[in-house]
Amino acid sequence: MMENLRTKANSPLLKIILALIILSFVLGGVMMGGLGGNSANNAAEVNGQSISREQLQQAFQQERQSLQEYLGDKFSEVASNEESMNLLRRQALDNLINNELINQYANELQLSASDQQIEQYIFSMPVFQTDGRFDSEKYREILSRNNINADSLAAQIRQDLTRAQLGKTFTGTDFALPSEVKAYAELFMQEREIRTAILDLAEVQAKQTASEEELKAYYDANQNSFISPEKVQVSYVEMDAASMPPATVSDEEVKAYYEQNLKNYTQAEQKQYSMIQADSEKDANDILNELKQGADFATLATEKSTDKFSAGQKGLIGWMEAASTPIEIVDAKLTEKGQLSAPVKSQNSYVIFRLDDIKPESIKPFEQVEESIKTSLLQDKNIKQFYDLQQKVSEAATSDMESLVSVESVSGLKAVTTDWFDRTNPPAALNFPKVVSEVFSDRLVDKNGSKGINSDVINVEGDRAFVVRVTEYKPESVEPFEQVKSEIETLVKRQKADAELKTTGDKLLAELKAGKGAEALNAAGVKLSEVQTVSRLMPQTAVINATMEMSQPVDGKPSYALARDESDNYVVIQLDKVTLGQPTDEELKQLTREYQGAMSSAVNEALMLNLRENAKIEVLNIE
């Protein structure tokens, strides 16, 4: 089920291909980065192993991006809530802690992944395939483009594969008794026939009265419920990069940039290599002699190489630049096309390398890169233009604190003044956490009101920036009784109605359970509805949830329960009949998978709880 190996260093081919597996982890958000570093820069420590703040920030951004993709336009509401973002950051840290605990547990069990597992995984990765087959040229290009060092990644890759292997071991069992699944399916798919009677809250509330004394007593007892938060009126100037005049770039500037940065458009010399691996020096020398006598390299690589990965490519291992060539190939000192190396010892094997071809250093023609250079220069100029504007505005805002007149003068923009608002409902134009935080900071306001000064430039997402000043300030206060009187009257009447309705409901429920049926319903002035059939497969409501938790009817007598619906009405539920589900074979197959998933989740949760209970976890700094 699981390999318990202490694998050695990678073969030459693995040193080449291990670098690329990182791409799949980066794209999938799996890579955590290395541990260690200055303790002052750590977010947490798990049994002495540190999780850096950089790791946490990366994980937090991944969580944030996932949430943004899920919520779409509604994400801005969540992002502006500091508490929500703090919870998201803590969730990201918990995930990192769980991953580290799993890593440590795998190491404790001396688990690892073999070289063959890694080879097979990389060989099957779609990112390196063309038309469903591994493409060595694509593989080489991705390696070069991402500037990845294979040796520094090997340990992390093996660790990630081992962690996945451990998770599958504990939660990947396919075993489930058919009788268990069938019983689970019958219960899950059961149908229940009910009739309901609604005790309407609004109807009872409309009949309630509330005296002035009751309203005043409620106000005095619940003043914390009528706190008016601190509010401000703000004047601000908004700078938006998108609204600035676009920069221009001349043909001469583009040409000059190309000539001054030729090294960026130079493709270094590349060499293409093939290899044949043998188990012993004697076998390698025998193969080398066959090659010298004219044997076909591709045929021998396919038939005799003990490295199945390269053998499947007829020995080909691809194009490489000097910077990404493994040391074993470098030491072979191959300089001419078709040149063969002597057998090179690598761990417990011997490898023959052949230099297949050479691509000399080349420079991309100006015409090929002209548009990309122009685009890049335009972006740089636009950014500089926006930055220069912010610099001028910052100087004006801090040198003239009396108003935003100087800011308006240097920017050519007009200041806007808002209505009153508090932290929870800022104007849409200012609805950015950094802006709201600055507006209510002790830099701009204190208990005496506005300090009458300007903020510095506040940069926010979307290439926008603000300068703000608080023009008016109202501190937090208890709202006057007369201002909230009508609200209190509604609350008091609702409380009275709810208490009355609860008493009526409890009495009716007791009488129904006592067998008084129609008599009790008539006395309460309600009628049971027509029969409804409900199940867990329907959209769930409070009434359906309560129904599915009720005891089954006994001896043909209905059972009863009292529930609240989504409008806070009380609902009397009469359960008449329960029919077990009759799953089809296809539904049983699907529910088997769900049942196994539920069991796996339970096992995984139990494992994580156990690991956390027995671990020393210290949260240091998550900001």
| DSSP track, 253-273 | HHHHHHHHTGGGGEEPPEEEE
Question: Which percentage of the chain shows pLDDT scores above 90?
Answer: 47
Look at residue 171 in the predicted model and tell me its pLDDT: 52
Look at residue 24 in the predicted model and tell me its pLDDT: 36
Burial tier of 587 (Cβ tally within 10 Å: 0-12, 13-18, 19+): middle
Q: Reply yes or no on whether the pLDDT at 534 is more than 90.
A: yes
Look at residue 66 in the predicted model and tell me its pLDDT: 77
Q: Reply yes or no on whether the pLDDT at 418 is more than 70.
A: yes
Enclosing domain of residue 63: 42-173
Average pLDDT of the residues in 4-12: 34
| pLDDT, tens digit, 9 for 90 and up, residues 92-125 | 888 888 888 878 887 787 777 676 676 666 667 7
Look at residue 109 in the predicted model and tell me its pLDDT: 76
- Cα angle value 423/427/430 (rounded, 5°): 85
Q: Reply yes or no on whether the pLDDT at 55 is more than 60.
A: yes
Residues 407 and 508 in one domain: no
Asked whether residue 7 is domain-assigned, the answer is no
Look at residue 99 in the predicted model and tell me its pLDDT: 81
Nearest CA to 621 among 15, 57, 26?
57
Asked whether residue 242 is domain-assigned, the answer is yes
Q: Reply yes or no on whether the pLDDT at 152 is more than 50.
A: no
What would the two tokens of residue 363 be?
């420079």
Main-chain dihedrals φ then ψ at residue 414, nearest 5 degrees: -100, 140
Which 3 state secondary structure label does DSSP give 14? helix
Residues 56 and 164 in one domain: yes
More confidently predicted of 42 and 366: 366
Alpha carbons 270 and 204: distance in angstroms, whole number: 85
More confidently predicted of 174 and 180: 180
CA end-to-end span of the chain = 41
Question: Which percentage of the chain shows pLDDT scores above 70?
Answer: 82
CB atoms closer than 10 angstroms to residue 102: 21
Nearest CA to 111 among 52, 29, 167?
167
Q: Reply yes or no on whether the pLDDT at 537 is more than 50.
A: yes
| Least confident segment among 21-30, 45-54, 192-201, 503-512 | 21-30
Q: What is the CATH number of the domain that holds 158?
A: 1.10.4030.10
Look at residue 3 in the predicted model and tell me its pLDDT: 32
More confidently predicted of 99 and 69: 99
Q: What is the CATH number of the domain that holds 288?
A: 3.10.50.40
Asked whether residue 6 is domain-assigned, the answer is no
CB atoms closer than 10 angstroms to residue 100: 24
Nearest CA to 462 among 432, 426, 501, 492?
432
Look at residue 413 in the predicted model and tell me its pLDDT: 95
Boundary of a domain, candidates 477, 506, 529: 477
Average pLDDT of the residues in 219-227: 89
| Least confident segment among 168-172, 428-432, 456-460 | 168-172
Residues 521 and 539 in one domain: yes
Look at residue 136 in the predicted model and tell me its pLDDT: 66
Look at residue 552 in the predicted model and tell me its pLDDT: 92
Asked whether residue 67 is domain-assigned, the answer is yes
Q: Reply yes or no on whether the pLDDT at 508 is more than 80.
A: yes
Residues 168 and 46 in one domain: yes
Look at residue 154 in the predicted model and tell me its pLDDT: 53
Residues 501 and 430 in one domain: no
Q: Reply yes or no on whether the pLDDT at 82 is more than 80.
A: no
Residues 424 and 445 in one domain: yes
Position 58, amino acid: Q
Look at residue 392 in the predicted model and tell me its pLDDT: 95
Position 145, amino acid: R
Asked whether residue 389 is domain-assigned, the answer is yes
Q: Would you say 159 and 515 are in contact if contact means Cβ atoms under 8 Å apart?
A: no
Asked whether residue 586 is domain-assigned, the answer is no
Look at residue 25 in the predicted model and tell me its pLDDT: 38
Look at residue 547 in the predicted model and tell me its pLDDT: 94
- CA distances from residue 131 to 134, 136, 143 in whole angstroms, order as listed: 8, 13, 20
Tally of domains in the chain: 4
More confidently predicted of 58 and 10: 58
Look at residue 326 in the predicted model and tell me its pLDDT: 87
Boundary of a domain, candidates 336, 360, 384: 360
| Least confident segment among 35-39, 362-366, 450-454, 607-611 | 35-39
Residues 168 and 207 in one domain: no
Across-strand partners of 236?
A: 416, 468
Q: Helix/strand/coil (H, E, C) string of 277-338?
A: EECCHHHHHHHHHHHHCCCCHHHHHHHHCCCHHHHCCCCEEEEEEHHHCCHHHHHHCCCCCC
Q: Reply yes or no on whether the pLDDT at 474 is more than 70.
A: yes
| Least confident segment among 155-159, 414-418, 472-476 | 155-159
| pLDDT, tens digit, 9 for 90 and up, residues 211-221 | 999 999 999 99
| Least confident segment among 104-118, 370-384, 390-404, 522-536 | 104-118
The size of the chain, in residues, is: 623
What would the two tokens of residue 419 be?
């209505």
Residues 99 and 119 in one domain: yes
Look at residue 139 in the predicted model and tell me its pLDDT: 62
Residues 331 and 390 in one domain: no
What global pTM score does this model have? Answer: 0.47
Residues 309 and 167 in one domain: no
Q: Would you say 498 and 201 are in contact if contact means Cβ atoms under 8 Å apart?
A: yes
Average pLDDT of the residues in 611-621: 86
Where does the pLDDT of residue 155 fall: very low under 50, low under 70, confident under 90, or very high at 90 and above? low
Residues 212 and 238 in one domain: no
Residues 64 and 164 in one domain: yes
More confidently predicted of 222 and 158: 222
Where does the pLDDT of residue 169 fall: very low under 50, low under 70, confident under 90, or very high at 90 and above? low
| pLDDT, tens digit, 9 for 90 and up, residues 229-265 | 999 999 999 999 888 888 899 999 999 999 998 888 8
